[in-house]
Amino acid sequence: MLRFIVRRLLQAVLVLFIVSLLLFTWLRKLPGGPIDAILGERATPETRAALRKTLGLDQSIPVQYLHFLNNAIHGNFGTSTQVQTGTDALDLFFQRLPATVELSVLALILAVITAIPLGYFAAKRHGGFLDTGSVVLSLVGVAVPVFFLGFVLKYFFSIEWHMLPPAGRQNPDLDATRITNFYVLDGLLTREYDAAWDALKHLILPAITLASVPFAVIFRITRASVLEVLNEDYVRTAESKGLSERIIRGRHVLHNALLPVVTTIGLQVGALLTGAVLTETVFGYPGLGDALAQAFRQRDYAVLQVLILAAALGYILVNLLVDVAYAIIDPRIRTR
Amino acid sequence: MTAPSPAPATTDTLLSVRDLTVEFGTKGQTPFRAVDGVSFDVRPGQTVGLVGESGCGKSVTSLAIMGLLPKRGNKVAGSATFDGTDLLTLDDREMRDRRGRDVAMIFQDPLSSLNPVVSIGVQVAEVLQRHRGMKKSAAMAESRDLLDKVGIPDPSRRLKEYPHQLSGGMRQRALIAMALACKPRLLIADEPTTALDVTIQAQILNLLKELVVDSGTALIMITHDLGVVAGLCDEVNVLYGGRIVETAPRHELFASPRHPYTNGLLGSIPRLDGARNEQLAAIPGSVADNIPWTSGCAFAPRCSRAIDVCRAETPSLEQDSVAIEDHLLRCHNPWPTGGEA
Amino acid sequence: MSPMQRKKDRIDALAATAGTAGDIPDAGHVSESGGLSLIGSAWLRLRRNPVFLVGATITALFVLLAIFAPLIAPHSGTANPLIGQVTTNHPIPNPQSGYPLGGDNQGRDLLSRLILGSRQTLIVGVLATLAGLAGGLVLGTLAGSFGGRVDTVVMRIVDVMLSLPSLLLALAVATLFGQPSQWTLIIAISVVQIPIFARLLRGSMLSQRSSDHVLAARALGVKRGPITFRHMLPNSLGPVLVQATLVLAVSIIEAASLSFLGLGNPDDSSPEWGQMLGRAQDLFDIAPHIAFWPAGCIVVVAFGFTLMGESLREALDPRNRR
Amino acid sequence: MTATKTTAAIALLAASTLALSSCASSKRDEGAKKSGNAANTSATLNFGAAGAPATFDPFYASDGETFRVSRQIFQGLVGFKPGTAEVAPRLATSWKPSADGKTWTFKLKTGVKFTDGTPFNAEAVCKNFKRMDSQNKAGQTASEYWLANMGGYNGAKDELYQGCTAKDAATVQIKISRPTSKFPALLGLPSFSMQSPTAMDKYKANNIKAQGQGFVYSDYANAHPTGTGPMKFQKYDKTNKTVTLVRNDDYAGDDKATVKKVVFSIIPDETARKQALASGQIDGYDLPNPVDWPTLKKDDNLEIRPAFNILYLGLNAKVDPDLKDLRVRQALYYAINRDQLVKSQLPDGATVATQFIPNTVAGYNKSLKPYKYDPKKAKSLLKAAGKSNLKITLWYPTEVTRPYMPAPDKIFNAIKKDWQAVGVKVTPKPLPWAGGYVTGTQNGNAAAYLMGWTGDYNTPDNFLGNFFSDPKGQMTVGAYPWGDKLHKALSDDDSVVDEAQRATAYEKLNKQIMEDYLPGLPISSSPPAIVFSKKVTGVTPSPLTDEHLWTAKVSK
């Protein structure tokens, strides 16, 4: 087990290295770049040249990369030029991380608690009304572009009915205290319940939007694998033992059926990051996705590097975690 | 368990199946009759065999009795009276209470029949917890003894192990342990040995013999292998195409098999006393060639003794005129007594 | 997938093709389970499967529309007959005789652009899918047919690609080309699909390698090339093609997302639904229909493709013959 | 078993929450919560910003988002009359140039204190200028407005700034190397605002360094900006992307803040900002998209600023020799239906440009008539020039909107159509604004391209100088025979001391540029707007985007 984890981590390092190399060269090859973003129409050839020099963009790419690596090892990934000018890109990452984690976790929870039960009962009543209905729903879930769903939700719940805020993370007037920067959690910790509630209200629409795709996927996997398990001999054995519905559902059906689901949830993390870019843009939600979209539009190299590397790393780690979890719940792997 | 108690001296039946009929088929499609008016009795402590090729409906029969057929897309008719109550009329809850307590079952493929992600111990113990209301710890201790009794070495270790860590034979033993956990009065064994190697088969059969037969639990033995029947059963029902074609006590049946199909089955067992150059007479064709019972004898297309009437009239199950004891037969043109393939 | 599981599936598959799936004749399919080939029985079930029928119909209609778009569209997609009515106070010309859906904010007929859009959308979808498929085929076949070290190397590459969330990768590729265009968009979308196809192919090909008929072929001394292309590839294509149908839907949606993030094809002279939707965002609350029409089209078409793909997947998978 | 696991997890979470909460406590100041439902003077103005301020030290800044913030907390020696680009007294009550226009004497307002208590006086002024003039290497590239306007540091050759001397506490003298129209207007730029010397020393304001691809600013710039303005910096909540300013209660001016707080919520997405306003989450935002103007006019106060920008189509004869011929350039100009374009693609109040400067700038030539839309004439001109089948590559930016150019691609489409109508073959070249467009155009690699300019202050040189003073610049005017003449004219006119004379000189020059040179095609000037919700009044829109948000009156 341990060896497995170590090996995977080493692979992760390798992958990250490759990604960073590709990333770096790619960014440097891009036309334009931070200077244009910084100076805009005020960029005369002179000022541009001067800036290039100060920023060391006039050196050869390998040299720049070595600089980058060297700095990176010292935990310095450069400075944001646009998204949050002057902020160390890594700091920026950590400032934005809680927002996105808060959002993704809520979205994932929403997806899981709706998708798995629905998937189970759909499979139980295979071909029934609930089944067909929820299948269609899940298919529509993937067919609707995430950002459009966001627009529609916002249009009705915020603009038309003024039920929920359309953008942002928390009303600054509340002047809430920050501890972990997970606003909902902070609100609870400091007993500023109004702040927590306000933060939550800001989360609802984005979370629903973000949950749409994972919901669809998890639902479909759950349904498929429950269908399969229900036809397994050991379920029949369990029935022949006269066990109660509850035991059979939990111990014999779900425990087996959820194995593939666990992996899927892991894979959804990638989808969540993707969705976060769109969702956070639509809802002006100050998370990583929002930073990423901005960094792309305004060619904020440092931020792009950190965010993409972090995305890759996070993705790898989560999947490693999933594999470990898988091993824990599946004895066939654990005891091999 | 304590020392095997002798079989009760009563002769009244424990389970009596009457006109059991099972039809599959979703709306819009011609229903498929898997079991067609099957009737037989099981007396306490008796071992009854249901014999036939795969697809002859023997497993469906057992599942019907256990109430384990998929709820949707099939119709079950007839009755299966288990000391006084018709199991087919019980609702789901009542049936659950009886399954595993009064009636237990073991299945063909011991690997796929065990939950791969739950330890053997738990899988045995859960029955005890369910039906004997035992606490987990007590149940586990009991399970340990059970595993020991079915001859699994080092049971306390096996308790914690998972199916994939056990050998085929041990898995089947474990299944038996689960089935016998609550000392059921009827055990249905569905091809319990087919998935095992020959050497193991013998062991398992012996195990069944001593644990079930000797302890007075009635046993329904479902198999396609008359060899198994010969070793175990008191009475044999031969099924074909969903109907019983021949019923007789073991020795009677082996002594004078009358139905060509039974003969075919017998003929396909290698016999040690057979002459060297004697070749196995296999039954030509497959179940797929059946004609429906309604328009004659389903076996006719494959039958070596088939005559015109076989394809015209549906034979009925009647007492064999020439037999001494009760020997039911469904054939227009049976083999002469003592006749051999 | 554990070898146990794989073995099980193969048995099931054999059972399926042999016609008797276990001792219990399964509800519904008994009548047809008599020795039919997998594909054959799949088709038999598809014909009756409403899900598939709906999906197929939608897809067919969409393709037809795309093919005959220029004949159907009442106006050209670029001419701006309604430009006279476009003012900043009233940027979207209302529906009117001859222009049932009104115009867009450059005075072009919305209906015509929607109809013509179908073609561009189909092109983007198909090309992106094909490109992704091609890339996947190369990598997957390499890994699948050679196995061993080649497999490891190729799969590392695939992992690198997989380790980036799809949209990120797409964004990266989209920005990579200095000058954005329809082609950069297509490539961006397809790159995301390559690793998925690669994995899929490799997976099914590896299981093929250990499968009986391939082993037999190898035993008979057939060379790797022929084995790969005559035995393994054809038998592995089923799931890949299913995936392709699903990817078509995805690409159309991805195209929309990229346009929304401003990284789509800037040239809107040949309309495409994703682009139309992506650009309608700033008009959303003043003229929602500008966004709703293309969105509706996308949803319906994506839905159609997904329905078809899903039902195909279910039909072709021996384990789902229930 | 899974169930037990989950319960365990929940229990753990709950436990940790309790544990944490015992050590955590609310640090919020209780006054804040009331702000929502309170009388005007304790109200909060919540303004939606498109981007995060780059820094709070305006000296290193060059973007509007940063300036909007610093304009509330800092003041310059001079300011601008609200709603106009006219120079007005601010920290200096009066000023006068010497005869040669090279020495400027400013009388300072007295009794002014920086928010950290440091007195504002001549000495402070000179400290400020010294600080600006003596920048380290990074600082020299970062403080781009100084470089652009003062032309160098530490007495570099042809630096405009020559030194500052405190005559007495309330009198300061600034020397410059040559007379220029910019002076003293440029002192009104936020970059040259007066900041507290003490604070700047304490927090190492000049301590700026280049790191990676960006600059790392000083503590001062990040967290301790200290000015004399009506508002003062409170906090920048980076995780919530909000900047909070509070009223400076000992503000010396008579235009004291009418709000207790100004909060900037940073919402990059344009639509998201609009919807935030619609839902009442913010009280206003800048540069609403023209397509939303009608709705905003209806539901909110849409304040339209005087147009102070210019959109032009740059041409470069060096890249495309066909353009060397004046007739060709004129033909291209005549071919564009600008009335149509302005009407359909540009905001209300946008005007067809007749020259390279908006009509609010001194030196604007009223006599000039626009090139009327005339396809026939265009055709004939092309014919005459022998370029009837002219091919041209037209650049336009993507991923950007500018006040003068709300939707570049639509403007491009319109022009393309018009040009094709007169037989010109147009090859589109779309490039991301920051993805090569600016570099390409500014380095003079684009034959024809869309570009524009928003004035910093009210002098023609701020426009014309930027376009043409560099002969190798974007339009490579050096490539034309008249290039040098134009270059000379620009510097001469700029150094005319007397305002009236200067104005006439520029009027003449503008006429020349439009009729004899035509290096590019001025398209239009568009009034940018700023929008507030109905409950906000009292903010005067400014052509320089110099809005005094602190004067807002927020009603319930």
Q: Are D385 and D420 in contact (CB under 8 A)?
A: no
- Write a three-state SS string for chain B: CCCCCCCCCCCCCCEEEEEEEEEECCCCCCCEEEEEEEEEEECCCCEEEEECCCCCCHHHHHHHHHCCCCCCCEEEEEEEEECCEEHHHCCHHHHHHHECCCEEEECCCCCCCCCCCCCHHHHHHHHHHHHHCCCHHHHHHHHHHHHHHCCCCCHHHHHHCCHHHCCHHHHHHHHHHHHHCCCCCEEEEECCCCCCCHHHHHHHHHHHHHHHHCCCCEEEEEECCHHHHHHHCCEEEEEECCEEEEEEEHHHHHHCCCCHHHHHHHHCCCCCCCCCCCCCCCCCCCHHHCCCHHHCCCCHHHCCCCCHHHHHCCCCCEECCCCCCCCEECCCCCCCCCCCC
Minimal CA separation from A332 to chain B, in Å:
7
Place of tokens 């609010």: D360
Instruction: Confirm if A138 and C285 have CB atoms less than 8 A apart.
Output: no
Token digits of residue A239: 């029935």
User: Confidence band (pLDDT; 50, 70, 90) for D198?
Assistant: very high
Query: In terms of Cα–Cα distance, which of D45, D31, D18, D14 is closest to D539?
Result: D45
Determine whether the interchain pair B130/A244 forms a contact, defined as Cβ–Cβ distance below 8 Å.
yes
- Please count the helices (runs of H) and the strands (runs of E) in chain D: 18, 23
Which residue would you say has higher pLDDT here, C238 or A105?
Answer: A105
Confidence of residue D508 (pLDDT cuts 50, 70, 90): very high
Q: Within an 8 Å CB–CB cutoff, is residue C277 touching chain A? A: yes
| Judgement on whether residues D164 and D261 belong to the same structural domain of the protein | yes
For residue C35, the distance in angstroms to the closest alpha carbon of chain B comes to 10
pLDDT, averaged across chain B? 83
Half-sphere exposure (Cβ direction) of D220: Cα atoms closer than 13 Å:
21
* Contacts with B63 from chain C: Cβ below 8 Å: 24
CATH code of D515's domain: 3.10.105.10
Burial B66-75 (b: 16+ CB within 10 A, else e): bbbbeeebbe
Beta bridge partner(s), residue D530? D286, D303
- Interface residue of B27, B103, B108, B115 to substitute, partner A, most A CBs within 10 Å: B115
CATH number reported for the structural domain that contains residue A315 in this entry: 1.10.3720.10
The answer to whether C299 faces chain A, any CB pair under 8 Å, is yes
Higher-confidence residue of B49 and D473: namely: B49
More confident residue, C233 or D132: D132
Tokens 């604070």 belong to: D199
Domain C126-322 fold: MetI-like fold (1.10.3720)
pLDDT at B279 over 70: no
The pLDDT tens digits for B103-156 are 999 988 888 899 988 999 999 999 999 998 889 999 999 999 999 988 899 999
Do A163 and A285 have their domain in common?
Answer: yes
Structural domain spans, chain C: 126-322
Please report all neighbours of C, defined by 3+ CB atom pairs within 8 A.
Answer: A, B, D
Query: Both A137 and A46 in a single domain?
Result: no
Whole-angstrom distance, CA of residue D303 vs CA of residue B276: 111
Name residue, tokens 């018709």.
B86
> In degrees, to the nearest 5, what angle opens at C-alpha D462 toward C-alphas D458 and D464?
120
Instruction: Mark whether A47 and A97 lie in a shared domain.
Output: no
Average pLDDT estimate for B170-184: 90
Q: Would residue A242 count as lying in a domain?
A: yes
d(CA D486, CA D483): 5
Amino acid at B230: A
Residues A279 and A147 both lie in one domain: yes
Q: Which amino acid is at A151?
A: F
- Indicate whether A39 and A105 sit together in one domain: no
* pLDDT higher than threshold 90 for residue D525: yes
**CA gap D106, D92 in Å, rounded:** 6
pLDDT 10s per residue in chain A (336 long)?
A: 678 788 878 878 887 888 888 888 877 777 666 667 666 676 667 777 777 777 777 778 888 888 888 888 888 888 887 788 778 889 999 999 999 999 999 999 999 999 999 999 999 888 788 888 888 888 888 888 889 999 899 888 988 888 898 888 888 878 788 888 899 888 888 888 898 999 999 999 999 999 998 998 899 889 988 988 988 889 989 988 888 888 999 899 998 888 888 877 877 777 787 889 889 988 989 999 989 888 887 778 888 888 888 888 887 788 788 778 877 777 777 765
| Structure confidence by residue, pLDDT tens digits, D461-470 | 999 988 998 8
Q: Which of A142, A148, A274 lies nearest to residue C295, judging by beta carbons?
A: A148
Chain C: closest CA distance from residue B21 (Å): 15
Residue A250 Cα, gap to closest chain D Cα (Å): 9
Instruction: Return the closest-CA partner of residue B204 out of B181, B231, B182, B172.
Output: B172
Between A78, A88, A286, which is nearest D240 by CB? Answer: A286
Number of domains making up chain A: 2
Residue C12 has pLDDT above 70, yes or no: no
Report d(CA B126, CA D176) in Å as an integer: 95
Q: Is D158 helix (H, G, I), strand (E, B) or coil?
A: coil
Q: What is the CATH number of the domain that holds D111?
A: 3.40.190.10
pLDDT at res. B282: 64
Which structural domain, as residue segments, surrounds residue A123? Answer: 89-334
Same domain, D400 and D278: no
pLDDT at D106: 96
Q: Is A242 left (phi over 0), alpha (psi -120 to 50) or beta?
A: left
Mean pLDDT across chain C, nearest whole number?
Answer: 76
pLDDT digits (tens, 9 = 90+) for B146-162: 999 888 999 999 999 99
Q: Which residues of D touch C180 (CB under 8 A)?
A: 398, 430, 432
Rounded CA-CA distance B60/B71 in Å is 13
Q: Does B165 touch chain A (CB under 8 A)?
A: yes
The mean pLDDT value of chain D amounts to 88
Q: Same domain, yes or no, for A68 and A109?
A: no
pLDDT at position C221, please? 72
The answer on pLDDT for B10 being more than 50 is no
What confidence score (pLDDT) does residue D8 get?
52
pLDDT in tens, B214-228: 788 899 999 888 888
- The domain segmentation of chain B, as residue ranges, is 252-273+280-341
| A6 domain residue, yes or no | no
Helix and strand counts by DSSP (H, E) for chain A: 15, 0
* CA dist., res. D554 & res. B341, Å (int): 108
Nearest by CB to residue D409, choosing from C90, C266, C286, is C266
Same domain, D342 and D226: no
| A237 closest CB neighbour out of B107, B122, B130 | B107
Partner-chain contact C281 A147, CB within 8 Å = yes
pLDDT given for residue B271 in this prediction:
54
pLDDT band at B273 (very low <50, low <70, confident <90, very high): low
Bridge partners (DSSP) listed for residue A52: none
Determine the residue of chain B that is closest to C23 in CA distance.
B55
Domain limits for position D110: 5-303+529-554
C20 touches chain B (CB under 8 A): yes
pLDDT bucket at D513, cuts 50 / 70 / 90:
very high
Distance CA C249, CA D64 (A): 42
Same domain membership, residue D285 and residue D338: no
Q: Which chain B residues are Cβ-neighbours of A236 within 8 angstroms?
A: 68, 107, 113
What is the pLDDT averaged over residues B172-190? Answer: 90
| C283 in reach of chain D (CB within 8 A) | yes
B149 token code pair = 């009794």
Residue A83 belongs to some domain of the structure: no
Query: Are D338 and D247 part of one and the same domain?
Result: no
Mutate to test the interface with A, among B113, B129, B176, B194 (most CBs of A within 10 A): B113
- For residues D232 and D352, membership in a common domain is answered with no
CA distance to B194, B282, D497, per residue, from B197 (Å)? 8, 22, 112
Q: What distances in angstroms separate CA D157 from CA D100, D104, D150, D458, D495, one per listed residue?
A: 20, 20, 11, 26, 18
Tell me which residue in A233, A242, A247 faces B98 most closely, judged by beta carbons. Answer: A242
Going from the C-alpha of D55 to that of each of A304, B196, D68, D285, the distances in angstroms are 20, 78, 11, 20
Subunits adjacent to chain A (3 or more Cβ pairs under 8 Å): B, C, D
* D539 DSSP assignment: P
Nearest to A41 among D33, D54, D451 (CB): D451
Question: Hey, is the C-beta of C27 within 8 angstroms of any chain A C-beta?
Answer: no
D357 shares a domain with D228: no
| Spatial separation of the C-alpha atoms in residues B62 and B78, rounded to whole Å | 14
User: What percent of chain B stands above pLDDT 90?
Assistant: 24
Query: Is D438 in contact with A41 (Cβ distance < 8 A)?
Result: yes
User: Is residue D247 domain-shared with residue D365, that is, in the same domain?
Assistant: no
Q: Mutation test of the interface with chain B: which of A126, A227, A230, A240, choosing the one with the most B Cβ atoms within 10 A?
A: A240
3 state SS for D265-318: EECCCHHHHHHHHHCCCCCEEECCCHHHHHHHHHHEEEEECCCCEEEEEEECCC
Total domains present in chain D:
2
The pLDDT of residue C33 is: 37
The answer on D546 and D500 residing in a single domain is no
Are residues D421 and D275 located together in one domain of the fold? Answer: no
Q: What are phi and psi of B245, to 5 degrees?
A: -105, -20
Q: Do C168 and A274 lie within an 8 Å CB cutoff?
A: yes
- Please report the pLDDT score of residue D14 as a whole number: 54
Predicted pLDDT at A34? 67
Mean pLDDT of C184-193: 86
- Token couple for D14: 């709950």
Please tell me if residue B162 touches chain A, with a CB cutoff of 8 Å. yes
Regarding whether D275 and D340 lie in a shared domain, the answer is no
Look up residue C93 and give its DSSP letter: P
CB-closest option in D271, D343, D436 to C281:
D271
> Of how many residues is chain A composed?
336
Query: How far apart are the C-alpha atoms of D341 and D501, rounded to whole Å?
Result: 36
Judged by average pLDDT, the poorest of C138-147, D119-128, D311-320 is C138-147
Would you call A62 helix, strand, or coil by DSSP? Answer: helix
The 10 Å Cβ neighbour count of residue D364 is 18
Residue contact A243–B96, C-beta within 8 A = yes
Are A323 and A178 members of one domain? yes
What are the Cα distances from residue C317, in Å, to A221, B24, C10? Answer: 14, 23, 11
Name chain B contacts of A242, Cβ cutoff 8 Å: 95-101, 127, 130-131
pLDDT in tens, D45-79: 999 998 888 889 999 988 888 999 999 999 999 99
Residue C239: what pLDDT? Answer: 72
* pLDDT given at position D422: 94
Q: Is C27 on the interface with B (CB under 8 A)?
A: yes
Residue of C nearest to A213 (CA): C250
Residues A58 and A174 in one domain: no
Question: Where on the phi/psi map is residue A203: left (φ > 0), alpha (ψ -120 to 50), or beta?
Answer: alpha
Alpha carbon separation from A197 to A99, A189, A194, D53 (Å, rounded): 15, 13, 5, 28
The answer to whether C270 contacts chain D (CB < 8 Å) is no
Amino acid identity of residue D93, one-letter, is T
Q: Enumerate the β-bridge partners of residue D166.
A: D172
3-state secondary structure of D242: strand
Q: How far is C-alpha A51 from the chain's CA centre?
A: 35
Q: How confident is the model at residue D37 (pLDDT cuts 50, 70, 90)?
A: very low
- By Cβ distance, the residue of A142, A146, A311 closest to C306 is A142
Does the distance separating the beta carbons of B164 and C4 come in below 8 Å? yes
- Domain assignment present for residue A7? The answer is no
Residues A191, A69, single domain; the answer is no
Contact A240 B68 (CB under 8 A): yes
Q: Is the peptide bond before D184 cis (omega within 30 degrees of 0)?
A: yes
Examine the pLDDT at C158 and tell me if it is beyond 90.
Answer: no
